[in-house]
Amino acid sequence: MQDAIWWQVYPLGFVGAFPGDQPPDPGEHRLRRLVGWFDHAIELGASGIALGPIFQSRTHGYDTTDHFSIDPRLGDDADFDYLIGEAKHRGMRVLLDGVFNHVGVDFPGYRQAADDNACARWFRGRPGHFRTFEGHAELIALNHANAEVADYVVDVMTHWLQRGADGWRLDAAYAVPQQFWAATLPRVRRRHPDAWFVGELIHGDYAATVRDAEFDSATQYELWKAIWSSLNDGNFFELDWALQRHNEFLASFSPLTFIGNHDVTRIASRLQHPDHLAHALVILLTVGGIPSVYAGDEFGWCGIKEERFGGDDAVRPEFGTPPTQLDEAGAWVWDLHRYLVGLRRRHPWLVAASTTALRLENRHYVYQTCCGDDALLVVLNVDRAPLHLVLSEVGVAKAEVVAGSSAPPREVVDELVVEGHGWRILQAV
């Protein structure tokens, strides 16, 4: 799992099950549509499929009704078993999305809470005044001090791991007391010692939370924000600061890195200059951590998240049957993803690599990414003017050009010119 490269999918949207005027029924077996895309994920270079919610819910999947049942809009248990079998046949891992901070209003215990004190104790607050998740009235916060809730979460996780899953993304993990995770995850690991757990964290001391909660990894939102923000603002000092923090995290765990997911505006829509999509991807795939590519980003798809009802729909579209027909721009993005994911697979040490700035200016950034004796040199230019770089000025005598915009492949140089809004990856010789 440490060396995984994830292709992330939001299943309900991917198969057209939500939103929709007429929800599909289990007989449509829509979950199986994902399997048709597994070979695409392999061609991309991914080694694992990270799924969004697949358990029974009323709407978007994060309002769970029954953690032990596949959402009938997706299918049934047999469809899950088929998906797992096809993934394993291809050597791919499967990560599930566990929503254990809150439940939906159709959750049986919540519906009985007004008349049953034992059920009421499953939730924070009291009947009629239960707490909700971040003000969403349809998301009822669980009481993590209740031992029955802990037992339930352990049972859910072990059930699906036993059925073939490889790990869990823990949704809204930042909202759950760390001692709850520290008490429950070891119980799961005793039965499934190879299971992998990544907590959704947004702010705060990632390293301390990972340690105290006993996660294996955490979502690296700090780096995500710094990547697109520094490119838009022409301020690589922000990115360098985030990468210094990232180095500190890497000393104790491997963060889950990304430039897109189901909860944020797509990177192609977020960036103000289209050429900088390449820069964002270069950063993602040349720094330490466990990278994840959100389905559709590898085609350069656009989509803006809005803070309104249905505001996630644009970034969670339905996919058709592969292969997707791409225009020239989409084909370029696809080829770039395949090349850079391939570069990462050829340099597996990058999972633990730390970065060092060799030249840092607002619009120019040269950094070395290294682990032990292995190293790559990355040159980023977001200025309109070309960047002339003499390698000896950054402590390198000669280097071979591995990749770049308008770059001759495998050329050994001691200086180079990176065109405006261009980039290079080099390896010292």
Q: Are 206 and 251 in contact (CB under 8 A)?
A: no
User: Would you state the pLDDT for residue 254?
Assistant: 98
Say whether the peptide bond before residue 177 is cis (omega within 30 degrees of 0): no
Q: How far apart are CA 301 and CA 60, in angstroms?
A: 21
Whole-model pTM above 0.95?
yes
- Burial of 301 from C-beta contacts in 10 A (0-12 / 13-18 / 19+): buried
Q: Are 27 and 19 in contact (CB under 8 A)?
A: no
- Low-confidence residues of the chain: pLDDT under 50: none
Q: Which of 339, 419, 428, 329 is nearest to 380 (CA)?
A: 419
**Domains and their CATH numbers in the chain:** 6-351 (3.20.20.80), 354-428 (2.60.40.1180)
User: Would you state the pLDDT for residue 407?
Assistant: 74
User: Would you state the pLDDT for residue 420?
Assistant: 97
Q: How far apart are CA 256 and CA 246, in angstroms?
A: 11
User: Would you state the pLDDT for residue 185?
Assistant: 98
Q: How far apart are CA 262 and CA 10, in angstroms?
A: 7
Average pLDDT over the chain, rounded to whole?
A: 97
Q: How far apart are CA 315 and CA 304, in angstroms?
A: 6
Q: Which of 222, 220, 210, 200 is nearest to 52 (CA)?
A: 200
Q: Which of 365, 183, 185, 187 is nearest to 276 (CA)?
A: 365
Query: DSSP letters of 112-178?
Result: HTTT-HHHHTTBSS-TT---EETTEEEEEEB-TT-HHHHHHHHHHHHHHHHTT--EEEETTGGGS-H
Radius of gyration of the chain (CA): 22
Place of tokens 């993803």: 337
Q: Pairing mode, if any, of strands 364-371 and 354-360?
A: antiparallel
User: Would you state the pLDDT for residue 309?
Assistant: 87
User: Would you state the pLDDT for residue 216?
Assistant: 98
φ/ψ (deg, to 5) at 369: -115, 120
Place of tokens 């189901």: 262
User: Would you state the pLDDT for residue 1?
Assistant: 86
| Geometric angle at alpha carbon 351, from 393 and 377, rounded to 5° | 15
Any bridge partners for residue 6, and if so which?
48, 292
What is the number of alpha carbons within 13 Å of residue 356 lying toward its C-beta? 8
User: Would you state the pLDDT for residue 406?
Assistant: 84
Q: Which of 170, 172, 159 is nearest to 66 (CA)?
A: 159
CB contact set of 370 (below 8 Å; sequence gap of 6+) = 353, 354, 355, 356, 376
User: Would you state the pLDDT for residue 224?
Assistant: 98
SS3 state of residue 62: coil
